């Protein structure tokens, strides 16, 4: 496992300045920051960001993107998350579906989907988890049965983030009952408006609606919507998880909370608070260096899946520690209806931060991946 320290270049720092100026113009002063992926769904903001070339940044220009590097994307994403910008509309499509289409999609799929993703107008969800298949994705029971010109899909997906607002989702399903449970899986791009797709909300403990159950009842998917090779779903989905795990979205969800704590309560009011904020700052900086090192190594053509798993583990555990520490330092009961920004964000964080170490792979599973990687 290798994390090489890497500074940002002058051009990368200039990009940061441009994003900051854009955000200062677009976000009203005193806006309520979103908690990373749990922020607002705002199609207009996504389109404005896309007009600057900052959605699907790594998509090559021939498919409508900016052809940017992973580190340039890192800089933009870091700024968006620090500002608590409303990024959820385009988020999954830009972070995960676009690179997957670039690696495994047909030219026809790339030509159709990628320009729409880069324009911030085509939004995706992920259809991996099922009631009895979360960490163990090879246990998926959703089936796709061959029909003339395509496949008929039946099954149930759970925890499907954004399925109630997004256009498509990539469904991991069983296309044959092969001997080895990792074989016989495939990925299909399913239109969330197609006949037979039923989306029902699953609410967070604070009552907010982010994810869903999606039932697929005889849903027809044409052959041209098969993503990659039939039977290669396991290999493809594992490759995709590396995009999901190492980015700033895995340690900056709580940045708004930290910022408002410092602004409203002060970092230096007593020794304990000073020590707590100093500890948070030091850890944040260290994790950020790890995440940046992964982005730089992606830029150099490596596939740091084990490093990415480790960053997600330390990043999301850190996020939960920050919430607990600031709650302790604040020394008060949470109040979701509080008028002050810090108090309102604290309540939101306490009620939703348990999901940080579950979504995208649980801590235990990530540690298993990291341990196996260290053993090699
Ligand atoms: C906010 C949020 C958004 C999500 N969005 C999506 C989405 O859009 N699309 C999607 O497909 N899924 C999504 N998920 C699902 C998420 O990926 C799963 O919850 C996660 O992979 C864990 O699966 P599970 O909930 O079935 O738990 P299980 O796999 O049943 O795990 C239960 C417990 O057992 C432990 N465990 C399991 N296997 C092992 C092992 N091998 N070694 C050690 N311990 C183990 C786990 O760590 C966990 O503590 C989302 C989840 C959340 C919380």
Q: What is the pLDDT of residues 312-338, one digit of tens each?
A: 999 999 999 999 999 999 988 888 888
State whether residue 111 is helix, strand or coil. helix
pLDDT digits (tens, 9 = 90+) for 15-25: 999 999 999 99
CA of 134 to the centre of ligand 1 (A): 5
Share of the chain above pLDDT 70, in %: 99
Q: What is the pLDDT of residue 240?
A: 78
CA of 351 to the centre of ligand 1 (A): 18
Which range is least confidently modeled, 75-89, 142-156, 176-190? 176-190
Does the CB atom of residue 129 touch ligand 1 within 6 A?
Answer: yes
Q: What is the pLDDT of residue 130?
A: 98
Of 147, 141, 136, 138, which is closest to residue 215 (Cα–Cα)?
141
Does the CB atom of residue 365 touch ligand 1 within 6 A?
Answer: yes
**Protein residue with its CA nearest to atom 13 in ligand 1:** 159
305-330 and 233-245 are packed helices; what angle lies between their axes, rounded to 10 degrees? 40
In this prediction, residues 138-142 reach a mean pLDDT of 95
The answer to whether 150 touches 121, Cβ cutoff 8 Å, is: no
For the chain, which domains are there? 10-122 (1.10.540.10), 125-231 (2.40.110.10), 246-375 (1.20.140.10)
Of 290, 335, 256, 262, which is closest to residue 87 (Cα–Cα)?
256
Does the CB atom of residue 356 touch ligand 1 within 6 A?
Answer: no
Q: Which atom of ligand 1 is nearest to the CA of 355?
A: 53
Strand partners of residue 133: 130
Does the CB atom of residue 166 touch ligand 1 within 6 A?
Answer: no
CA of 362 to the centre of ligand 1 (A): 6
CA of 357 to the centre of ligand 1 (A): 9
Q: Report whether pLDDT(375) > 80.
A: no
Strand partners of residue 223: none
Provide the 10 A C-beta neighbour count for residue 281.
Answer: 13
Q: Which atom of ligand 1 is nearest to the CA of 135?
A: 29
The answer to whether 246 touches 307, Cβ cutoff 8 Å, is: yes
Q: What is the pLDDT of residue 166?
A: 98
pLDDT digits (tens, 9 = 90+) for 237-265: 988 777 778 789 999 999 999 999 999 99
Q: Report whether pLDDT(2) > 90.
A: no
In this prediction, residues 289-310 reach a mean pLDDT of 88
CA of 359 to the centre of ligand 1 (A): 6
Q: Which residue has the higher pLDDT, 369 or 121?
A: 121
**Residue 345 binned pLDDT confidence (cut-offs 50, 70, 90):** very high
Q: Report whether pLDDT(37) > 90.
A: no
Which range is least confidently modeled, 44-48, 171-175, 301-305, 347-351? 301-305
Query: Under the phi-then-psi rule, with left for phi > 0, alpha for psi from -120 to 50, and beta for the rest, what region is 331?
Result: left
Q: What is the pLDDT of residue 24?
A: 96
**Residue 148 binned pLDDT confidence (cut-offs 50, 70, 90):** very high
Q: What is the pLDDT of residue 206?
A: 83
Does the CB atom of residue 125 touch ligand 1 within 6 A?
Answer: yes
User: Of all helices (H) and strands (E), which one includes residue 40?
Assistant: none
Please state, in angstroms and rounded to a whole number, the distance separating the CA atoms of residues 125 and 285.
31
**Protein residue with its CA nearest to atom 42 in ligand 1:** 365
Please state, in angstroms and rounded to a whole number, the distance separating the CA atoms of residues 105 and 330.
50
Q: Report whether pLDDT(33) > 90.
A: yes
**Residue 84 binned pLDDT confidence (cut-offs 50, 70, 90):** very high
pLDDT digits (tens, 9 = 90+) for 151-193: 999 999 999 999 999 999 999 999 998 778 889 999 999 999 9
**Protein residue with its CA nearest to atom 24 in ligand 1:** 134
Please state, in angstroms and rounded to a whole number, the distance separating the CA atoms of residues 275 and 270.
9
Q: Report whether pLDDT(268) > 90.
A: no
**Residue 48 binned pLDDT confidence (cut-offs 50, 70, 90):** very high
The answer to whether 8 touches 75, Cβ cutoff 8 Å, is: yes
Q: Which atom of ligand 1 is nearest to the CA of 136?
A: 29
Does the CB atom of residue 364 touch ligand 1 within 6 A?
Answer: yes
Q: What is the pLDDT of residue 241?
A: 77
CA of 72 to the centre of ligand 1 (A): 30
CA of 126 to the centre of ligand 1 (A): 13
């Amino acid at each position: 496992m290798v994390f090489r320290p890497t500074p940002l270049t002058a051009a990368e720092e200039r990009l940061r300045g441009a994003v900051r100026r854009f955000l200062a113009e677009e976000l009203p002063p005193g806006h309520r920051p979103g908690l990373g992926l749990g922020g607002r769904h705002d199609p207009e903001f996504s389109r404005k960001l896309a007009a600057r070339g900052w959605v699907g940044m790594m998509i090559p220009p021939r498919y409508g993107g900016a052809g940017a590097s992973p580190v340039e994307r890192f800089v933009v994403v870091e700024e968006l998350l620090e500002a608590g910008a409303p990024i959820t509309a385009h988020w999954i499509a830009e972070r995960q579906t676009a690179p997957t289409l670039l690696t495994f999609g047909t030219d026809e799929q790339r030509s159709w989907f990628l320009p729409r993703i880069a324009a911030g107008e085509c939004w995706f969800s992920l259809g991996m988890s099922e009631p009895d298949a979360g960490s163990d994705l090879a246990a998926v029971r959703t089936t796709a049965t061959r029909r003339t010109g395509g496949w008929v899909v039946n099954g149930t997906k759970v925890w499907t983030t954004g399925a109630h607002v997004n256009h498509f989702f990539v469904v991991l399903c069983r296309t044959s009952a092969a001997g080895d449970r990792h074989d016989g899986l495939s990925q299909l791009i399913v239109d969330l408006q197609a006949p037979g797709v039923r989306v029902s909300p699953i609410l967070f403990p604070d009552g907010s609606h982010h994810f869903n159950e999606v039932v697929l009842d005889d849903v027809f998917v044409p052959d041209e919507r098969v993503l990659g090779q039939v039977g290669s779903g396991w290999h493809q989905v594992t490759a995709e998880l590396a995009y999901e795990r190492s980015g700033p979205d895995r340690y900056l969800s709580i940045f708004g909370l930290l910022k408002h704590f410092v602004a409203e309560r002060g970092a230096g009011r007593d020794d304990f608070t000073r020590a707590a904020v100093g500890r948070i700052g030091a850890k944040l900086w260290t994790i950020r260096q790890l995440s940046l090192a992964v982005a730089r190594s992606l830029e150099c053509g490596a596939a740091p899946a084990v490093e990415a798993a480790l960053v997600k583990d330390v990043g999301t555990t850190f996020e939960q520690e920050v919430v607990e520490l600031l709650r302790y330092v604040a020394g008060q009961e949470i109040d979701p209806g509080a008028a002050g920004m810090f108090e309102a964000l604290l309540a939101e964080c306490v009620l939703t931060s348990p999901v940080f170490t579950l979504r995208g792979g649980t801590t235990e599973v990530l540690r298993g991946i990291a341990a196996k990687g260290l053993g090699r």
